Structure 1
Amino acid sequence: MGDIVLMHFSTVDYVIFVLLLVASAGIGLYYAFSGGRQRTTQEFLLADRSMSCLPVSLSLLATFQSAVAILGAPSEIYTHGTQYWFLGCSYFLGLLIPAHIFIPVFYRLHLSSTYQYLELRFSKSVRICGTVTFIFQMVIYMGVVLYAPALALNAVTGFDLWGAVLAMGLVCTLYTALGGLKAVIWTDVFQTIVMFAGQLAVIIVGTHQAGGIAEVWKKAQNGSRISGLDLNPDPLERHTFWTLGVGGVFLMLALYGVNQAQVQRYLSSRTEKVAIMSCYAVFPCQQIVLTMGCLMGLVMYARYGEESPLDKGYVKSNDQVRYKKNDFFDRNEFFY
């Protein structure tokens, strides 16, 4: 399989990385000093209910497509095979139900929070209980999604892990606090485009480096990384159609049906129809991201086979996978 090349950021890489952070912060500054300057609750929390389908749908996608998914999905495929892809079977139903049951209720009540509905439907104590539960959930979630990119940054730059967590946390807090939901949504759009471009680059150049798509598929098959439909009803199995395709529906409902982060984006849409269309638009985007993650995992396996960099001690975590392009036409190498 060849030796694994350990590589680090060049000056150009650092410049690009800093520009990405500056661009994200810049979007927040722009919306802090434009329009109504975030002076009203509706503008700050709901973007004046003025957003169109494209930015809302991409923001919905980006909200829970964190570094955990971008790093974790290829690692899962590399280690255990493509059975994980069947999670995509849950996406359509998991988005159809929120689009036609949850969104109309939230939108027509002119709410800004899912927890307002709990108070209207039940009582204030239920609202408080739901709010506290959500806060605990998001504190844990945000810790994980900040740690994952910091781990990757530490692997390729040697930058202090907790320094990276602090830097990224400060940038995210800055553009959110200054620009409100408009800044968050447009930053999500920008970062989603970067995410797609990065994944596509890994797949295209990595496939070429591995000898072509036929060779990637052949090596994956020989290594038992291509998984068929597993209908085993045993819930103790790592992944089956039932745990992914059926269980995944409930995951999607939790994320896209009642999660405050997503509901707030629905409510920023200019009309109820736009909110519903935004929810539908997430479906193909989710499928593309999942499929690209699986392809990256197969490309990794075709490049390295069973010679895991983790086993060799090159990395401390199986999630520290990165792609480095030194010269697009002459020399392209993967590194961990």
Structure 2
Amino acid sequence: MTNLKVDNLVADQTDLLLTPPSSNSPPMASKFVAVAGATGGLGQLVAMELVKRGIPVKAIVRPNTDPLRTEKLRNAGVTIAPVDLSAIPTLTGELSGAICVISTLQGLGDVIHTAQGKLLEASMAAKVPRFIPSDFSLDFTKTKVGSNRNLDLRRKFHNELNKSGIAWTSILNGGFMDLLVGNSPMINHKSRTVAYIGSTTQPLDFTTMVDTAAYTAEVAIDPNPTPNFLRIASHTANVEEIAQAQSNVEGVAYKPSWMGTVGTAELMIRIMRFFGGESDVFPAWQGMQYMVNMFSGAGKLEPLDNNRYPNLNWTKVGDFFRQHKNQKSVDNVWS
């Protein structure tokens, strides 16, 4: 059973968490968890996981956000708060009473530094006891500066976190397992291959977005102080194990496909980056930077903190492939 108590530093928050919000979107209770970026894939999942735990949730969204993007949240009882993140006084008012602010904002410097920085500033002004930044990545505390642009953005934001004085926890989940299905950069269903660089035996950390969201919700309502960094992985598997899992699900053989050494990939990144893509959130070379960090072992998550919340379940790669295939079958029936 999920513990519905919240940070014991604020004892008067406990009673209101015992009553889940109704689906009629009542006025926001005095204490709640705020989620910025709640209309995104991960943000919405985090909000829904909190609702499942009976926690009042306020979604911080951009002004003029399409109501269709917030419909599911509103139907679940989440309070929608359209606010310009640059309007610090207004944002501070919206965050007043929050027991935790969770950022799932994604983007480049204007988002990770500027917008998220304003969110942090308002959280401090509102005296929010806990802040969860939008890291959700490989272990950038161990990667080399300059080896991954998007990880460097997160590393730089931590300079502000460290100066803020607010209690914060960064959740590092490796790669999202969800990127292994669909138009995956690693798995080619036509050639039935799993692309890799370096060695097939390098352990790779993957976490589903659903598992990440559930863990994030637990951190947000944890009654105990939490470490600055928590590392999780639904499944740690090498390329050979991923290929075997895909083979088992599809009933045909998938094989690892070597794309060169880690050093060769680093050279290709420099060449590709010379031709642009700096203004893109995820250019092709950015994806290659993640591959280098993973297959070199630099971004490996160790040790894992999966057992901090023993009530959670973790999704294996093979089970995730099977779930995705079954969902595709259902979608095809109704399409």
Would you say same fold, with TM above 0.5?
no
Higher helix share: 1
